Homo-oligomer: A and B are copies of this chain.
Amino acid sequence: MFSEIDRHISRCTPVSDEELQIFNSRLKHMSVKKKTMLLRQGEVCRFEAYIVKGCVKKYYIDQNGDQVILQFAVEDWWISDIGSFSEQRPSNLFIETLEDTELLTVDFESKEKLFREIPKLERAFRIMVQRAYSVLESRFYATVSHSAESRYQEFLKRYPSLPQRVPQQQIASYLGITPESLSRIKTQMLKKK
Q: Taking beta carbons and an 8 Å cutoff, which residues of A are in contact with B?
A: 60, 62, 68, 70, 81-83, 86, 115, 119, 122-123, 125-127, 129-134, 136-141, 143-145, 176
Contact = CB atoms under 8 A, between A and B. Distances in A.
A7 B173 CA distance: 40
A12 B133 CA distance: 18
Contact of A70 (B60, B122, B130, B140): B140
A62 to B, nearest CB: 5
B86 A127 contact: yes
A144 B141 contact: no
Contacts of A122: 119, 122-123, 126
A86 B123 CA distance: 12
Contacts of A126: 122, 125-126, 129
Contact of A176 (B62, B137, B144): B144
Nearest to A150: B63
Given A86-B130, A136-B133, A136-B137, A68 B123 contact: no
A86 B139 CA distance: 18
A44 to B, nearest CB: 14
Nearest to A119: B119
